[in-house]
Structure 1
Amino acid sequence: MQDLIIRNSSRLELSMRVMDVLVLETAGMLASIIHFQAMIGETAPIHTVLLHFCSGLAFVLFAQLGLYTSWRGRSMPEMFVRVAMAWGLVLLIGLFFSFLIHHVGHVSRLWLFYWYATGVMLLVAYRIIVYGTLRHLRKKGLNSKRVVIVGYGSTGQEMHRRALAQDWAGYDVKAVHADPTDAGKISDPAIVRINTVEEIHNYVIANKIHEIWITLPLVASPKMQELQYLLRNALVDIRWVPDILGLQMLSNKVGDFLGFPAVDLNQPISSGIHGVIKELFDKVFSIVALILLLPLFVVIAVCIKYTSPGPVFFKQPRLGLNGKQFNVYKFRTMKVHREQGIVTQAAKNDSRLTSIGGFLRRTSLDELPQFINVLRGEMSVVGPRPHALQHNEMYKDLLELYMLRHRVKPGITGWAQIHGHRGETDTVDKMAKRVQFDLHYIQNWSLWMDIRIIAWTAFKGWTGANAY
């Protein structure tokens, strides 16, 4: 029973591929009923042709686009995005096919939209059921994969901890090979200790191990070469998990550079095509926000002018993407004054605050003009908050990874802010905690993560005990 699903993974994949075809055929027929109020056979013949052509194409292409690879330990929202993109690509190819056969003019675009939306919803819905069932089985100890960990430093220990904590992923660590200095860190007596690398292959064969996780640091390259030779005949999945916890870099994307594979150590996830998506989202969101917030802008501007002399907006230089300097916009919350070479953060009961300024800062309404910065391309809706230049100079020497937060555009709100790390950072520990959350955001960015942060900010993130 333990290996039943694993042994039949190819049959499960075939079942899912057939199910996808049935789902897409059903979605197309539902789209016809929704749009035409008729069965698809009663509409223009091109719709029936596209229905079967795209459904058959999905049977072939979905596998090539990675929709049936093992999704253990990976993000489900990422899977749903991949499903939506794959189905969209299939429909685009189908539309191009209808152009080639000179029937594109007879295709209803609204029917295509309904088919796409219905198809995505049904594909996602039944995947939730399938993967939810698999996760439930794994929590019960079924359909789990037996694992050997090679190396038990900080990365090996963290991988072991996550395998235990995320039991829905279905990884069962059976044995560990560790250096003598790390062997004492294995606290579970049920874990087998493999003393030498030469014994790993025999243990894997004898105990029907499914995966080997190599968590050795980069400096252990001689041992890696030895392992590569010793495990050359091991017909199991071998994963190398580099000591990224030790390197503490932003990413480890592998790409081609001058004909050689190269690893980008500090390239944020939100770059390349992801950066284009994020930029487009920022532009659309900022335009909509500025239009909707215009009446509020007028009210706040009148209040500022009424309560104290001076300009409505406050500008101050900040560091943006890759250290490029720009002026950040805010509603003015303090009386007009000059800083004497040092920027002093606002503190509780600060005498410099205007009568309306304290309210604007507590509710973060003073930050709203930064949608202008987003529209100008200087900021993002979500990202690490920009700090005063003097604070950057101070903390870059006190915190080792501080400047890595400038590898992305600063944001109006961020992962740190919705977790309570906003307002005054009067100690190094407070700033270190904020930077920790900022780096987590950069390392784990997704469009879905941005949407969650915006939603959280809209409902709960505008105020806080540290905002003054």
Structure 2
Amino acid sequence: MASKGPFFGVNRVGGPIVQLTESLVDPVAQLVSLFGLMVWYGEDQYNYYIILGILLFSLSFPGKSLIQRTLRGTFLDVLLSWAGVVTLLLFFGWATGLYRLFPSQVIVGLLWMTPLLQLAGHLLLRLILPALVAGSHPKRSVIVGCNELGRHLAAEIDRHPLLGIRMLGYFDDRNAERLDVDAQLIKGDFADVAEFARRNAIEIIYLAVPMASQPRIVSLLDSLADTTASVYFVPDVFVTELVQARMDAVGRVPVLAVCDTPFAGLNGMIKRATDIVLSLLILTLIAPLLLLVATMVRLDSPGAVIFKQRRYGLDGKEIIVYKFRSMSVCEDGPLVAQACRGDPRVTRTGAVLRKTSLDELPQFFNVLQGRMSIVGPRPHAVAHNETYRKLIKGYMVRHKVKPGITGWAQVNGYRGETQTLDKMEGRVAFDLEYLRNWSLKLDLYIIFRTVALVFKDAGAY
């Protein structure tokens, strides 16, 4: 279901030269496309192209690390990244009139040629990088602590050979017979680490020892002070689901965030600005449709056009959510039955609205109010929240962000009724995965997927 993301963001692989090369793939591909088109069409206004080149480079550097992504993920990431750059360039060009200085064939060529060159660059790097890493000196490492955490770390090192790390073995004070690994991988106990590191030129030592062993850790660190190895402490926090885990500080005291919102600081400003711009644009475009749907709801059955229901919003606080009324009743009490296939409460117009998700359109006004976001975990009725928070571990963590009109769970098959507990658990798992891996590109991808799914998804009724 939902997979745990990297602990402190996406690590780049290889050494500094490899990392620099990877960060230059996208900006260099964009510059090659731009100046290649300039030469091809015989343009001589170099100043304008230099200005545009500087804009492209500043918007795309450093490029994202995609070497460990799947081919499909790389393709989508490149397209979404380029779509974001193009959107900013179009806005800048329209605001300044700079677009008039470039021939239409150059602009069109830039739109389709650039992502192709970016994809080619990433795929080429994927072919040559293993040879570069293999030809370099892999960093020799050991893990202190042959426990579940240590074995998990070793598996991650083995799973990502492009990290350029070679794990030689474990150190543990317990007998090798008690440890769930090959006995040949046990190099000794804690007292042997420093001597082994000096004798075998160990460059990295990972301490996967529980905090309960603090005296042993202090003693071990004292002995390692006589080596040249880099020492990393691996915190034992993988026993729980990490959400936006990162290092932070309170004054000069370091703290470890285990569960936090992805929309702190600048990310929150970006998310809010995107919500306002997109919701205003969408409401302007769909205004005639809103009037049509309101008329259909009014003529089909007696009652209010807009259905208001209490939901849990950011930080679990109650909010009022708007929907076009799709049922003959407006239930908002301690017990609310989810709509199911053939539900007699659903009106004729309501059936169409729910099938196409048109009943959700008034929630763009909730977005403007700041109660909701365009993308986020779908809000459930208060009655459902009170039920499921007692049954599903981590259920309330999904309220670390504003609820959304659409979400990662909805585009992965969890739209509509969740008849069983395991289906609700699946929805919550995808919601938490969204919190762990949020990016603006992921939001855009979910919006595109939602548009594609609305008219063919049989999951809503």
Normalised by the shorter chain, which TM-score bucket? 0.7 to 0.9
Partners of 2:27 and 2:242 lie apart in 1 by: 42
Judging changes above 3 Å, is the alpha-carbon distance between structure 1 residues 450 and 360 closer, same or farther for their aligned structure 2 residues?
A: same
Partner amino acid, structure 1, of 2:423: K
Cα deviations by residue, 1:368-391 (Å, 9 ceiling, x for unpaired): 221221122111111111111122
Q: In the alignment, is the contact (CA less than 8 A) between 2:339 and 2:417 conserved in 1?
A: yes
Partners of 1:152 and 1:191 lie apart in 2 by: 13
Partner amino acid, structure 1, of 2:169: A
State whether structure 2 residue 129 is matched by structure 1 residue 160.
Answer: no
In the superposition, the TM-score normalised over structure 1's length comes to 0.72
Cα deviations by residue, 1:136-185 (Å, 9 ceiling, x for unpaired): 54898987555433334443333333444445555554323356499756
Paired residue for 2:246, among 253, 263, 278? 253
The equivalent residue for 1:3 is none
Q: In the alignment, is the contact (CA less than 8 A) between 1:174 and 1:191 conserved in 2?
A: no
Partners of 2:408 and 2:19 lie apart in 1 by: 37
State whether structure 2 residue 353 is matched by structure 1 residue 360.
Answer: yes
Q: CA deviation at 1:392?
A: 1.9
Q: CA deviation at 1:352?
A: 0.9
Give the alignment of 1:453-464 within 5 angstroms. 453-460=446-453, 464=457
State whether structure 2 residue 410 is matched by structure 1 residue 417.
Answer: yes
Cα deviations by residue, 1:423-456 (Å, 9 ceiling, x for unpaired): 2234433322222221111111111111222222
Give the alignment of 1:54-453 within 5 angstroms. 128-129=122-123, 131-137=125-131, 145-167=139-161, 169=163, 171-178=165-172, 180=174, 186-187=180-181, 189=182, 192-207=185-200, 209-338=202-331, 341-453=334-446
Q: CA deviation at 1:204?
A: 4.2
Q: In the alignment, is the contact (CA less than 8 A) between 2:409 and 2:431 conserved in 1?
A: yes
Q: In the alignment, is the contact (CA less than 8 A) between 2:67 and 2:122 conserved in 1?
A: no
Structure 2 residue matching 1:343: 3-state secondary structure = coil
State whether structure 2 residue 44 is matched by structure 1 residue 39.
Answer: yes
Structure 1 residue matching 2:366: 3-state secondary structure = helix
Judging changes above 3 Å, is the alpha-carbon distance between structure 1 residues 121 and 296 closer, same or farther for their aligned structure 2 residues?
A: same
Partners of 2:175 and 2:345 lie apart in 1 by: 57
Partner amino acid, structure 2, of 1:324: K
Structure 2 residue matching 1:316: 3-state secondary structure = strand
The equivalent residue for 1:99 is none
Structure 1 residue matching 2:370: 3-state secondary structure = coil
Partners of 2:417 and 2:259 lie apart in 1 by: 28
Cα deviations by residue, 1:265-318 (Å, 9 ceiling, x for unpaired): 322222211111111111222122222333333333233223212222211011
In the superposition, the TM-score normalised over structure 2's length comes to 0.73
Q: In the alignment, is the contact (CA less than 8 A) between 2:312 and 2:380 conserved in 1?
A: yes
Judging changes above 3 Å, is the alpha-carbon distance between structure 1 residues 132 and 194 closer, same or farther for their aligned structure 2 residues?
A: same
Partners of 1:414 and 1:238 lie apart in 2 by: 40
Q: CA deviation at 1:32?
A: 6.2
Structure 1 residue matching 2:272: 3-state secondary structure = helix
Judging changes above 3 Å, is the alpha-carbon distance between structure 1 residues 343 and 176 closer, same or farther for their aligned structure 2 residues?
A: same
Partners of 1:109 and 1:151 lie apart in 2 by: 64
Partners of 1:228 and 1:29 lie apart in 2 by: 54
Partner amino acid, structure 2, of 1:231: L
Partners of 1:338 and 1:10 lie apart in 2 by: 60
Farther-moved stretch of structure 1 (296-305 vs 272-281):
296-305
Partner amino acid, structure 1, of 2:366: N
Q: How many residues align?
A: 426
Gapped runs of 5+ residues in structure 2? Answer: 1-13, 86-95
Partners of 1:155 and 1:399 lie apart in 2 by: 25
Q: In the alignment, is the contact (CA less than 8 A) between 2:398 and 2:428 conserved in 1?
A: yes
Judging changes above 3 Å, is the alpha-carbon distance between structure 1 residues 31 and 322 closer, same or farther for their aligned structure 2 residues?
A: farther
Structure 2 residue matching 1:374: 3-state secondary structure = helix
Q: In the alignment, is the contact (CA less than 8 A) between 1:176 and 1:191 conserved in 2?
A: no
Structure 1 residue matching 2:239: 3-state secondary structure = helix
Q: In the alignment, is the contact (CA less than 8 A) between 1:319 and 1:406 conserved in 2?
A: yes
Q: In the alignment, is the contact (CA less than 8 A) between 2:173 and 2:190 conserved in 1?
A: no
Per chain length, whose mean CA-contact separation is higher, i.e. which structure has more relative contact order (CA < 8 Å, sep 6+)?
2
Structure 2 residue matching 1:246: 3-state secondary structure = coil
Partners of 1:421 and 1:458 lie apart in 2 by: 15
Partners of 1:108 and 1:430 lie apart in 2 by: 50
Q: What CA RMSD, in Å, does the superposition of the two structures yield over aligned residues?
A: 4.7
Q: In the alignment, is the contact (CA less than 8 A) between 1:270 and 1:442 conserved in 2?
A: no
